[in-house]
A and B are shown apart, each in its own frame.
Chain A
Amino acid sequence: MTRAPAAGDRGAVYLASTGTALPGDPVDNTALGRLLGVSEEWIDLFVGTRTRHFGWDPVTGEVRGSLADLCAEAGARAMDAAGLGSADVEFVVLATATPDTLLPTTASEVADRLGLDHLPVYQIQAGCSGAVQALDLGRTLVLGGRRAGLVLGGDVTHRFLSPRRDTARMPTEELVNHVLFGDGAGAAVLTDEPEGERIALRSVLNSWAGRGRPPGQLLDWYGTTDRDSPRRMLAEDYKAIEEHVPAISVEILWELLGGLGWSLDDLAFLLPPQLSERMTARIVERLPAGPAREISCVSETGNTGNALPFLQVDRLLPEFAPGDRALALCVESSRWIRAGFALEKV
């Protein structure tokens, strides 16, 4: 293939395609409320999420699919959409907070299912900002000379949510996790030239800013010595999140715009943080007004952690016209990571 010299900017990295995977049929609030013994109204009031997907049976708890299954599906769809064969993929970066096993990494399992071999495979342990970290690392690898690679993000809930637990006596702050989260995976193909969707990844912000601040979110794990520990597996400091995340989001927005020399009026789309329908609405309210249309998914997918930014970009693609610009914002409240990225369709 001959390349027109003006087709790509020097030093730019492009997003050629996305792929997503959500397991099974959506579980709505009626079904979930029945399982948890709570009212639909309560779910609506607390989180506003309407549906989510689970890779496990919410009645029996049977696990039907692993994170690797979901990520392989999303990855294969992204590769297919970009017209990439397994030999064309030169790296894999996978971000998750909930790997199937500590070793081997889920990233390597996914590489195997995708027929990839002899290539660098990274796994990033992170909350929802991991997807942005993966994009950041992927961008660096392409700038370092790789032609094309796959970045993925995904999370599954079966280890942390359980239908067998006695939800009636569960404290609200724990119960809310059952209605907040969902399973999912997303992927994107990054290339060094505009291909497929021809979306330039103009900038990536990835900055840990948690020095001296207590965690806003905790996800624990047990081993052989402490498997009977009564401590909580999953906890969130809602007050802190409600207080800080909207303000941090505003700062991320200005930081990204400032770095690029873009103004609010340049933005056709905005992809805000996807904590929950209610929380996302609260964040968007705080953001400065502009012409950008919001692209969100959380009310239909639930909070799928590292899959979220990919699910949002996937929804952006059909709308994104040449010349359009978009900004994605992400705050990981575990220890206050500021993240985001800027896209421009060329």
Chain B
Amino acid sequence: MGDVAIVGIDCAFPGAAGVQAYWDLLMRGGDGIAPVPAQRWAARDFPAVGGSGGFIDDADVFDSDFFSVTPREAAAMDPHHRLLLPCAWRALEDSGRAPGDLAGTETGVFVGVMGGEWGRLTMSDPARTTALLGSGSSTGMAANRISYHFNFTGPSLAVDTACSSSLVAVHLAAGSLLAEECDTALAGGVNVVLSPSLGMVYGQLGLAAADGRCKPFSADADGIGRSDGVGLVVLRRLADALADGQRIYAVLRGSAVNQDGRSNGVIAPNRWSQQRVLNSAYRRAGVAPDRVAFVEAHGTGTVLGDAIECAALGAVHAVPRDTPCAIGSVKGNLGHTEGAAGIAGLIKTALALHHRIVPASLFADRENPQLRLGERGLRLLKAPMRLPRGETLAGVSSFGMGGTNAHAVLGSAPRTPRGAGTDGARSRPARDAVGVFTVSADTPEALRRNLAAQADAVAGRPRGAAAALCRSSNLVKTGLPHRFAAAVRDTGELVDALRRAAAPTDTAAEQGRPWGRPVVAFLFTGQGSEYPGMTAGLHRESPLYRRHLAEADEALAPHLGESVRDLVLGGDERVHRPRFAQPALFAVGYALARTLTSLGVGPAAVLGHSLGEYAAAVTAGALGLEEAARLVARRGALTAELPAGGGMIATGAGPGELAGLLAAEPGTAVAALNGPSDTVVSGPLDALERITRQLTGRGVRVARLPVTHAFHSPLMAPAAAGLRTGTVRCAPPAVPLASTRHGRVLRHDLMDAGYWAGQIEEPVLMDGALAALVAEVAPTHLIEIGPRGVLLQIAARGGRAPGVEYLHPAPGPASTGLELAEAVAALYRAGLDPRWEELYAPGHRGVEPLAPYVFSSARRSWDRESFVQPARPATATVPDAPRPGRGAGDGRDGDDPVLHAVVQAVAEVGGHPPERVVREARFYEDLGFDSVMIMQLKNQVEARLPRVGEVSVQQMLPALRSVGALADFLSDVLMARSS
């Protein structure tokens, strides 16, 4: 049998609301046995079953909105199903993946569940039967609902072998994985003690513990105490789990299932069958019994059951061995969780192997001497047992009342030691690497709730690097509509950022739902923005930027005869000379753009200011990197050969205002039209000096630009002539390129030699190009691709792109290297799904456990009155039945009678509180409607709006996007019919 890895766990057991709480309960030897909650039944009415048992808190809580289940359906759903859905979500998260990423895959679901008590209780009165109750109560639906809500198309089955159901489910899941029916499987079980009925059965059979507690292998053992529980594990083939770098709790080495056959009574346990199932599992796992360090026994704590189990365990394990095989049973802590009993034992065993310590078995201190454990090579765990180094093997047993036995063999996860300097970096950075931590949720309130939960979890860790934690959050905590993202370096910063965003005063949570994807335009900065050491922080921080700057450097080196990267990062002042300034800026622009596109930030359009057009052209696919490098180096060389003496000034004047001044100064020219009152003038220095005095006298802002020549003026003619010679290998841009030479978007135009020659001597039509870009693609984000913020200021001054968000991954000498991550975080919040892995060096891509999703506990769906004491009207099971005179219809939509009627109809059909039925609510995603409910909705609408008359579902379909769309459609019908 092949190996299967346990890569994710979630569970809830009495006294333990999650995996960590479960482990804590086991390690402190706690138990979850408590008096019967009033919600289940009145203990005094059923004295025969005793007054206590194991009940999970909040078994009635279900975040139906999260799973798009209507309140009405949630109320009709079997509580077993309600518990499974959030458990599945959290288990998949724990496996290091966003559950949504598995949608559409052939993931298998194998759920052990015993009996069908909910159906018996709710469907026993034919007069009260409803369609929702029908689908809500079927046992098979326990697995199918998970497959439906998560969109898993692999095998999906509920398993009922009585108390061994969930371990048999794990066995079937492993087989399905190894047969390659599926690549990921959810397996486990669920049990909810809905009524005292089965307890009465146990009592009549003499199997019920007087105190409601299982006391496995104890001299005081007197029977079973019943308990709730839900637990799921995520299973993968070991090789796949290792290849994907998933955290592995333990490895399922082999398992076996058999049957008692015709033994001495259908419900009596059978020693020989138990022995055979153990041997069979060890054989399949390829292990000898003497290597098994401990067995998590079935251990119900009935006198007969314990005796038979120990006899079987002894027969297998009483072989010559160094130390006895340790045994214990979690039923001492939890009671008998029946359909979830096997998974409770399996999870305990997996956690024990993971933590390398086996918890003590409760009630072991009064070991039953009649079990003769010592003679049988067995030892009851009276204290926790620390496991030795290396692989430990453990067994898990689970036996069903009807004689179906299961045993699983688990081994510790393979250790993968880390080598030093795996990322090749030998130097120790003074600061921790940057990451972006992400959290997502289904509502603003849920986002706050989960931000707070993450903050608490991270605050409980020692302060330290956050990159691996961030990387894990990108894998797990993305995919829901409301998004949070923050760029941080260490866990201290992370906790602060999470707490700030979780505060009710922070409005970011409300704004955290993008409705589309961002439309990004890249603006490439031109000459004058360069400085020694530019982008050094980013170079230190980003492996991606390092890689792409090296590409540009390599392309430029043959033309420059030296490394422009080393020149830039070395702080060389020569970066101000045109010969180096132009290649240096090109390299920075190219590398910044490639860094962003590698991260999944693809531009909808590009624009380059003057020299910036070269890197823009490469990004748009108009020039290849080598060709552009050759051209830029040549342009730099030609510029350097020009006689000195020219310069440039930026003015706060429009071209009209300047015309007279320029006419009076031969050799001067408008070099750039950056905005309506934002004009750059080129020319001889003395002429510029005179113009500056004139303008300053008129109160116009003038600034001398830090350039060496009068670019974009007739003084550039010799350089232009040089650029005009030779051919340029170019193609029409694949991405819209707003040309600052022409002031419009290039379509089929080629950026050939003539283009580049004209480009250097003609004015830069920035304002026109930006306006054309905005008109063409309507960007939501402008990103400056340059070492200093220049174009974003021009754009802001010109007002061409109102409402657009500005981002800059390398904003000048004061930048810290954090800004790239901040830009990616902003784009994620705006709806982009970046290629997160590219943000991190390989050494920071480790898996870190994250706190599981915290679901809403606002909605509870449980009403024992309806079945324990029948004869209440069925509507009582609906907690949020709409009350007349409340909700949206009487609020802000009170003046729209059609909308009011639609809201009322929706609330009636779905059982939603009317205030949740807002205009924007979508029928399928937000309200959980299905085709049957649409039919009911049509009837409701027609009844409430008689004047609309007959409308077919076919006619309504296009309008069934949202509540508002349907109301608008019906209003139109009403208008048409009344006119």
A72 and B462 contact, Cβ closer than 8 Å, known pairs A87-B354, A117-B357, A118-B357: yes
A318 and B461 contact, Cβ closer than 8 Å, known pairs A118-B386, A196-B419, A198-B420: no
Residues of A within 8 A of B427 (CB): 318
Within 8 Å of chain B (Cβ to Cβ): is A82? yes
Residues of A within 8 A of B420 (CB): 17, 81, 196-198, 317
Binding site of B, secondary structure by majority: helix, strand, loop or mixed? loop
Task: Pick the contact of B355: A72, A117, A196 (CB < 8 A).
Answer: A117
| Contact stretch, chosen from B266-274, B410-418, B605-613, B621-629 | B410-418
Q: How many residues of B contact A (CB 8 A)?
A: 24
Interface string of A13-25 (1 = CB under 8 A from B): 0000100010000
Residues of B within 8 A of A314 (CB): 428
Interface string of B388-421 (1 = CB under 8 A from A): 0100000000000000000000000011111110
Interface string of A49-90 (1 = CB under 8 A from B): 000000000000000000001001101110011110011101
Residues B464 and A76 in contact, CB atoms below 8 Å apart = yes
A80 and B465 contact, Cβ closer than 8 Å, known pairs A196-B419, A314-B428: yes
Interface string of B362-398 (1 = CB under 8 A from A): 0000000000000000000000101001000000000
A72: nearest chain-B partner, CB-CB: B462
How far, in angstroms, from A198 to B417 measured CA to CA in the complex?
A: 12
A89 to chain B, nearest CB (A): 10
A269 to chain B, nearest CB (A): 15
Residues of B within 8 A of A86 (CB): 355
B412: nearest chain-A partner, CB-CB: A87
A303 to chain B, nearest CB (A): 21
Residues B389 and A118 in contact, CB atoms below 8 Å apart = no
A196 and B462 contact, Cβ closer than 8 Å, known pairs A117-B357, A147-B389, A318-B427: no
A146 to chain B, nearest CB (A): 9
Residues A318 and B428 in contact, CB atoms below 8 Å apart = yes
Residues of A within 8 A of B658 (CB): none
Residues B415 and A73 in contact, CB atoms below 8 Å apart = no
Within 8 Å of chain A (Cβ to Cβ): is B27? yes
Residue from the set B389, B414, B462 with the largest chain A CB neighbour count within 10 Å: B462
Residues A69 and B462 in contact, CB atoms below 8 Å apart = yes
Residues A76 and B428 in contact, CB atoms below 8 Å apart = no
Interface string of A245-263 (1 = CB under 8 A from B): 0000000000000000000
A216 to chain B, nearest CB (A): 33
How far, in angstroms, from A83 to B354 measured CA to CA in the complex?
A: 15
Residues A113 and B415 in contact, CB atoms below 8 Å apart = no
A192: nearest chain-B partner, CB-CB: B389
Task: Pick the contact of A77: B355, B426, B464 (CB < 8 A).
Answer: B464
Residues of B within 8 A of A76 (CB): 461-462, 464
Task: Pick the contact of A69: B355, B463, B465 (CB < 8 A).
Answer: B463
Please classify how large the interface on chain A is, using the bins under 10, 10 to 19, 20 to 34, 35 or more.
20 to 34
Residues of A within 8 A of B418 (CB): 81-83, 195-196
How far, in angstroms, from A21 to B355 measured CA to CA in the complex?
A: 26
Residues A117 and B417 in contact, CB atoms below 8 Å apart = no
Residues A83 and B416 in contact, CB atoms below 8 Å apart = yes
Interface string of B451-472 (1 = CB under 8 A from A): 0000000000111110010000
Residues A1 and B417 in contact, CB atoms below 8 Å apart = yes
Residues B464 and A73 in contact, CB atoms below 8 Å apart = yes
Residues of B within 8 A of A88 (CB): 356, 415
Task: Pick the contact of A83: B386, B417, B461, B462 (CB < 8 A).
Answer: B417
A1 and B415 contact, Cβ closer than 8 Å, known pairs A196-B420, A197-B420: yes
Within 8 Å of chain B (Cβ to Cβ): is A97? no
A120 to chain B, nearest CB (A): 11
Residues of A within 8 A of B464 (CB): 73, 76-77, 80
Within 8 Å of chain B (Cβ to Cβ): is A176? no
How far, in angstroms, from A195 to B415 measured CA to CA in the complex?
A: 12
How far, in angstroms, from A73 to B27 measured CA to CA in the complex?
A: 25
How far, in angstroms, from A80 to B469 measured CA to CA in the complex?
A: 12
A18 to chain B, nearest CB (A): 9
Residues B417 and A77 in contact, CB atoms below 8 Å apart = no
Residues A113 and B462 in contact, CB atoms below 8 Å apart = yes
Within 8 Å of chain B (Cβ to Cβ): is A281? no
Residues of A within 8 A of B354 (CB): 87
How far, in angstroms, from A117 to B414 measured CA to CA in the complex?
A: 21
Residues B27 and A317 in contact, CB atoms below 8 Å apart = no
B534 to chain A, nearest CB (A): 25
Residues of A within 8 A of B468 (CB): 80
How far, in angstroms, from A76 to B463 measured CA to CA in the complex?
A: 8
A207 to chain B, nearest CB (A): 32
Within 412-445 of B, Cβ neighbours of A (below 8 Å) are at: 414-420, 426-428
With contacts A1-B415, A73-B464, A81-B418 known, what are 18 further pairs, Cβ within 8 A?
Answer: A17-B420, A21-B463, A69-B463, A72-B463, A75-B462, A76-B464, A77-B464, A77-B465, A80-B464, A80-B468, A82-B417, A82-B418, A87-B356, A90-B389, A113-B462, A117-B27, A195-B418, A196-B418
Selected A-B contacts with CB under 8 Å, 16 pairs: A72-B462, A73-B463, A77-B464, A77-B465, A80-B464, A80-B468, A87-B355, A88-B415, A113-B462, A118-B386, A195-B417, A198-B420, A314-B428, A315-B428, A317-B420, A318-B426
Q: Taking beta carbons and an 8 Å cutoff, which residues of B are in contact with A?
A: 27, 354-357, 384, 386, 389, 414-420, 426-428, 461-465, 468
